[in-house]
């Protein structure tokens, strides 16, 4: 069995762990590890047949599929992506044996991934934020989990603040545009001499708008002699606009 990868640090870790295994008494790591010249290309390790059989025999043990194994799979095939919104965790798995073991372990820990086939590779994707945090905590990467939650909280607060600011800005623009339209209507009615024919409520509303060109409809309603709601003020301005349009008024 020949294992290879362009990630040199993986084999550096294997070299450090090798003396702690019983296989180190049988095989020297330097004899089976091959590093390309100038570190260009893939590093490979050739496992003797008896070591391969020993590893495969452990796959059938119940203790084999544990978090340290998942962390090893993550080290070779995993990645965490941060798009514009949220995060998603991804395993790119070639081996069907590793895939079945991975899905079985995730299921036992109540982590529900989605799968899709991309060429010869199966992509196992976890999108739920809390499940991604559970995944990192299970692998012993608690610091990463904390940092992930920290960033998620900061992003949530920032998005909420942006929504509030955008909402306020939108409301201000709407109020300004409404006030400009009302001022044009009031000026037109005064120019046409129609203002004397209006009811006292409508005349008071026009006078109040001319005196307070920047206040909102709600504030206009509160400052009338007989306070009314915002919807009532809106209704009265629609009535004034209709009267102006009957006399030839146009916003154009």
Domains of the chain, by residue range, sit at: 1-58, 62-140, 170-246
Percentage of the residues of the chain whose pLDDT score is greater than 90:
6
Spatial CB neighbours of 198, under 8 Å, sequence gap ≥ 6: 189, 206, 240, 243
Q: Three-state DSSP class for 135?
A: helix
pLDDT tens, residue by residue, 218-247: 888 888 888 888 888 888 888 888 888 887
Band (pLDDT 50/70/90 cuts) for residue 154 is confident
Band (pLDDT 50/70/90 cuts) for residue 251 is low
What per-residue confidence (pLDDT) applies to 64? 58
pLDDT tens, residue by residue, 94-121: 888 889 888 988 888 888 999 999 888 9
H or E element that contains 79: strand 78-81
- Report how far residue 179's alpha carbon sits from residue 189's, in angstroms, rounded to the nearest whole number: 15
The CATH code belonging to domain 62-140 is: 3.10.28.10
- The three-point CA angle 220-227-192 to 5° equals 50
What per-residue confidence (pLDDT) applies to 126? 92
Spatial CB neighbours of 251, under 8 Å, sequence gap ≥ 6: 181, 184
- Tell me the average pLDDT across 184-202: 79
- Tell me the average pLDDT across 181-199: 79
- The three-point CA angle 55-58-141 to 5° equals 90
Strands 121-126 and 88-93: antiparallel
- Looking at the chain, list the stretches that DSSP marks H as alpha helix, in order from N- to C-terminal side: 8-17, 29-32, 49-58, 67-77, 96-108, 129-138, 142-192, 200-211, 217-223, 230-246
- Report how far residue 20's alpha carbon sits from residue 165's, in angstroms, rounded to the nearest whole number: 59
Across 78-114, b (16+ Cβ under 10 Å) vs e yields: beeeeeeeebbbbbebeeeebbebbbebbeeeebebe
């Amino acid at each position: 069995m020949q294992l290879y990868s362009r990630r040199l640090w993986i084999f550096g870790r294997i070299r450090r762990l090798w003396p702690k295994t019983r296989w180190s008494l049988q095989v020297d790591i330097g004899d089976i590890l091959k590093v390309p010249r100038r570190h260009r290309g893939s590093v490979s390790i050739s496992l003797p047949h008896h070591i391969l059989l020993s590893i495969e025999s452990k796959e059938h043990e119940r203790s084999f599929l544990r978090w340290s194994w998942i962390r090893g799979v993550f080290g070779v095939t995993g990645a965490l992506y941060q798009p514009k919104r949220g995060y998603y965790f991804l395993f790119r798995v070639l081996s069907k044996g590793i895939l079945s073991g991975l899905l079985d372990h995730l299921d036992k820990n109540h982590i529900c991934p989605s799968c899709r086939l991309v060429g010869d590779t199966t992509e196992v994707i976890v999108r739920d934020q809390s499940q991604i945090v559970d995944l990192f905590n299970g692998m012993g990467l608690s610091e990463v989990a904390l940092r992930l939650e920290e960033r998620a909280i900061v992003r949530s607060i920032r998005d909420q603040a942006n929504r509030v600011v955008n909402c306020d800005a939108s409301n201000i623009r709407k109020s300004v545009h409404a006030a400009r339209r009302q001022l044009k209507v009031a000026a037109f009615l005064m120019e046409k001499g129609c203002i004397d024919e209006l009811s006292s409520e409508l005349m008071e509303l026009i006078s109040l708008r001319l005196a307070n060109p920047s206040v909102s409809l709600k504030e206009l309603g509160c400052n009338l002699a007989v306070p009314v709601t915002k919807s009532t003020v809106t209704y009265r301005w629609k009535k004034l606009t209709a009267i102006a349009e009957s006399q030839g008024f146009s916003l154009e």
